């Protein structure tokens, strides 16, 4: 290898030697550069924050009573998590378990992306303004925090000037994949700890830093576990791939650092386990633990790499839907111009070993994201994907495959920043390239930038629930069995109503992953005879004959749930038939209040 290839990401001065800053700045840029360093960085941060607020403008305008279009159910789940975390703080309860969800069982929230690292600090917001506002704060912080963290990484670790760092950071935080995941998946969009993880991993094996790096890495790992474990897993896989590829090119350098790196990793493991050992035990080894996740395995479509996302400036909902499972999993929608720019930047800066290794890593993960059976426009191309080798391995089989492509987002951000910086050095590129290349990058990035994400008002929960009137037929913490709508939406409706009541009562079901009898994961609790009975009447209006067997089955369900109260939404079809049926089965006179028909079962 040539001398120029010795440039590494851990040597900012060396990076600066092959790239440079702008020349002949414009009047505004010149004024900005005369400001103190902190002012200029603060201006960049302000731009990022305002951009994130603008993206979620419609959500903010709803005052906590709107849902992002495309994934209202997952948003409801996280709003419920915020309420539970706040209740746990106030009541000094275990925030990792929820005996009020899936009664009489206990929900394992550590296995349900409870987002505790944000949910607990947001307790005052949740209690004062509601979980909907906490959700708006969270998704805004996901985009802004991720962009700001990469801005700091590019400035301090890579050594790029502000304009290049801001360009790269804006893409890292507002890329289609991050924006897409923010629609219902804030645990995936919250990647503001990833740059810190990468920076610490790059310091592994440096002389004199073994203990300090290990402790810091352990703290960040523990924090990321409480923020989003899937992001941590993907980051570990990506950096492991980077390290192997780098070692193949620089074996001597890696050998020198191997011993110190191993010692730091051991310290990091000890620190992180000391902090989150109990949550991990609860998730994987406790009586509440489950194996496998009942998710659809979504893989990236080859056509999506050339397409713009639903909510990108150049996006088309119809075109995006043709090559994606839903709006929340559009992680590979870069568009042809940006991919071409990324390839060109890689070729141009190929001499930088750290940058070409990052590009190789991104390519590997873009291919892996295609899954075991790559498709074009949702049709198999007939060639097996490399991910087939890993798809059945423990832990890896639970990864939603298309999310592997998120690795490419920060790599593209690095390429944008590094090539922008290189172009601005006149001795290397010439005056024309100094402006043409950043202009070309901006033109390639512009179509991928997000529009304002649409948000709509959620359907109202009956006043009987929201006003606290539910206490008329259930003690605090008692179980209320609620019916609203079709059977396939039962779990979500029951959880949403419970959340609207501040989780003041227990619910027999919900939209979460529970442990099945065989130890596998499943969505919520099993549907019981009473659930099917109410749904059938709502669909057909036909009431089954009241037999001793039917009465026994329904009362057995109510006893199993420990039900204090049974309620039905007044908007249910065939309400009169449902009311007469449940009155006969329970032997309790119904009450009508605040949009529901209810039966108080406590004195039965």
Lowest mean per-residue pLDDT among 41-45, 215-219, 270-274: 41-45
Kindly state the average pLDDT of the residues 84-112: 96
Lowest mean per-residue pLDDT among 329-333, 433-437, 578-582: 433-437
What pLDDT does residue 36 have? 59
Distance between CA atoms of residues 325 and 344, nearest Å: 30
Who has greater pLDDT, 252 or 28?
252
Phi, psi of 237 (to 5 degrees): -60, -40
What pLDDT does residue 21 have? 40
What pLDDT does residue 34 have? 54
Query: For all residues of the chain together, what is the average pLDDT?
Result: 92
Distance between CA atoms of residues 82 and 75, nearest Å: 11
Kindly state the average pLDDT of the residues 51-64: 97
What pLDDT does residue 203 have? 95
Tokens of 28: 């505004």
Phi, psi of 492 (to 5 degrees): -70, -40
- Residue/partner pairs of 270-279 with CB below 8 Å, 24 or more apart: 270/218, 271/214, 271/215, 271/217, 271/218, 271/219, 271/221, 271/222, 272/218, 272/219, 272/221, 272/222, 272/225, 274/218, 275/218, 275/219, 275/222, 276/222, 276/225, 276/226, 279/96, 279/110, 279/225, 279/226
What is Dmax (Cα atoms) for the chain? 92
Question: Over 90: is that where the pLDDT of 263 sits?
Answer: yes
CB atoms within 10 A of CB 91: 9
Tokens of 258: 């191997």
- Report domain extents, the chain: 3-64+130-448, 463-600
The strand ranges marked E within 422-557 are: 455-457, 479-483, 513-515, 521-523
Kindly state the average pLDDT of the residues 578-588: 95
What pLDDT does residue 391 have? 83
Task: Report helix, strand or coil for 474.
Answer: coil
- For residue 222, CA distances in Å to 120, 276, 376, 396, 404 come to 15, 6, 39, 20, 21
Which pLDDT tens digit goes with each residue over 194-209? 999 999 999 999 999 9
Tokens of 313: 């400036």
Tokens of 358: 């990052």
Who has greater pLDDT, 225 or 11?
225
Kindly state the average pLDDT of the residues 158-164: 94
Who has greater pLDDT, 485 or 311?
311
Question: Over 70: is that where the pLDDT of 130 sits?
Answer: yes
Closest to 399 measured CA to CA, from 293, 522, 284, 521: 293
Question: Over 90: is that where the pLDDT of 126 sits?
Answer: yes
Which pLDDT tens digit goes with each residue over 491-549? 999 999 999 999 999 999 999 999 998 999 999 999 999 999 999 999 999 998 999 99
Tokens of 583: 């009155």
What pLDDT does residue 477 have? 94
What pLDDT does residue 38 have? 76
Kindly state the average pLDDT of the residues 266-284: 97
Contact 333, 309 (CB under 8 A): yes
Kindly state the average pLDDT of the residues 248-258: 95
How wide is the angle at C-alpha 31 spanned by C-alphas 30 and 34, nearest 5°? 90
What pLDDT does residue 291 have? 86
DSSP lists the bridge partners of residue 596 as 569, 593
Which pLDDT tens digit goes with each residue over 394-409? 888 889 999 999 999 9
Tell me the DSSP string of 336-396. Answer: HHHHHHHHHHHHHTTT-HHHHHHHHHHHHHHHHTT-SS-EETTEE-S---GGGGTTTSTTG
Question: Over 50: is that where the pLDDT of 12 sits?
Answer: no
Which pLDDT tens digit goes with each residue over 501-512? 999 999 999 999
pLDDT band at 296 (very low <50, low <70, confident <90, very high): low
Question: Over 70: is that where the pLDDT of 33 sits?
Answer: no
438 Cα distance to chain centroid: 31
pLDDT band at 337 (very low <50, low <70, confident <90, very high): very high
Kindly state the average pLDDT of the residues 354-379: 96
Closest to 488 measured CA to CA, from 458, 511, 512, 517: 511
CA dihedral 83, 85, 91, 97 (to 10 degrees): 110
Question: Over 80: is that where the pLDDT of 323 sits?
Answer: yes
Tokens of 106: 């206990």
Cis-peptide into 104, omega within 30 deg: yes
Distance between CA atoms of residues 220 and 72, nearest Å: 30
Using only the alpha carbons of the chain, give its radius of gyration.
Answer: 27
Distance between CA atoms of residues 533 and 547, nearest Å: 13
Question: Over 60: is that where the pLDDT of 7 sits?
Answer: no
């Amino acid at each position: 290898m040539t001398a120029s290839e010795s440039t590494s990401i851990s040597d900012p001065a060396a990076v600066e030697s092959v790239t440079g800053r702008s020349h002949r700045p414009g009047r505004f840029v010149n004024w900005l550069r005369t400001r103190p360093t902190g002012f200029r960085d603060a201006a960049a941060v302000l731009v990022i924050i305002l951009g994130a607020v603008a993206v979620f403008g419609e959500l903010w305008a709803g005052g906590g009573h709107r849902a992002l279009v495309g994934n209202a159910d997952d948003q409801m789940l996280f709003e419920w998590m915020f309420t539970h975390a706040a209740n746990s703080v106030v009541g000094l309860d275990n925030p990792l378990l929820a005996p009020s969800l899936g009664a009489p069982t206990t929900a394992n929230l550590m296995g349900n992306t409870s987002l505790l690292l944000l949910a607990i600090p947001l307790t005052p917001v949740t209690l004062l303004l509601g979980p909907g506002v906490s959700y708006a704060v969270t998704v805004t912080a996901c985009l802004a925090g991720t962009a700001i963290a990469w801005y700091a990484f590019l400035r301090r670790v890579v050594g790029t000037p502000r304009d290049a760092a801001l360009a790269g950071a804006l893409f890292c935080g507002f890329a289609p994949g991050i924006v897409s995941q923010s629609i219902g998946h804030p645990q995936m969009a919250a990647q503001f700890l990833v740059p810190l993880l990468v920076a610490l991993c790059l310091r592994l094996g440096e002389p004199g830093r073994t203990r300090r790096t290990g402790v810091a890495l352990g703290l960040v790992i523990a924090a990321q576990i409480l923020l989003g474990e899937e992001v941590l897993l993907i980051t570990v896989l990506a950096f492991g791939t980077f390290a192997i590829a780098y070692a193949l090119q620089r074996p001597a350098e890696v050998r020198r650092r191997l011993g110190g790196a191993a010692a730091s990793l051991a310290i990091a493991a000890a620190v992180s386990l000391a902090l989150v050992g109990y949550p991990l035990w609860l998730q994987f080894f406790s009586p509440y633990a489950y194996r496998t996740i009942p998710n659809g395995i979504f893989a990236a479509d080859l056509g999506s790499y050339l397409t713009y996302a639903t909510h990108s400036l150049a996006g088309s909902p119809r075109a995006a839907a043709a090559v994606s499972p839903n709006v929340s999993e559009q992680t590979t929608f870069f568009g042809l111009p940006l991919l071409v720019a990324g390839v060109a930047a890689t070729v141009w800066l190929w001499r930088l070993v750290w940058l070409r290794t990052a590009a190789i890593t991104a390519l590997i993960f873009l291919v892996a994201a295609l899954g075991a059976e790559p498709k074009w426009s949702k049709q198999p191309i007939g060639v097996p994907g490399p991910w087939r080798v890993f798809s059945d391995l423990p832990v890896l089989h639970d990864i939603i495959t298309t999310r592997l492509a998120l690795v490419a987002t920060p790599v593209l951000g690095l390429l944008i920043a590094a090539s922008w910086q290189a172009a601005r050095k006149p001795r290397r590129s010439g005056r024309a390239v100094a402006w043409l290349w950043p202009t070309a990058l901006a033109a390639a990035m512009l179509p991928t930038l997000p529009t304002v994400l649409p948000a709509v008002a959620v359907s109202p929960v009956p006043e009987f629930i929201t006003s606290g009137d539910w206490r008329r037929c259930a003690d605090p913490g008692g179980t209320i069995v609620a019916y609203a709508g079709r059977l396939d939406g039962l779990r979500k409706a029951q959880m949403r109503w419970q959340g609207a009541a501040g989780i003041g009562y227990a619910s027999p079901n919900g939209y979460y992953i529970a442990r099945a009898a065989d130890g596998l994961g499943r969505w919520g609790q099993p549907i019981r005879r009473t659930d099917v009975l109410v749904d059938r009447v709502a669909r057909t209006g036909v009431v089954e004959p009241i037999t001793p067997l039917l009465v026994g089955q329904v009362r057995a369900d109510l006893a199993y749930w420990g039900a204090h109260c049974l309620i039905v939404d007044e908007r249910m079809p065939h309400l009169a038939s449902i009311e007469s049926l449940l009155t006969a089965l329970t032997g309790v006179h119904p009450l009508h209040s605040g949009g529901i028909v209810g039966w108080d079962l406590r004195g039965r």
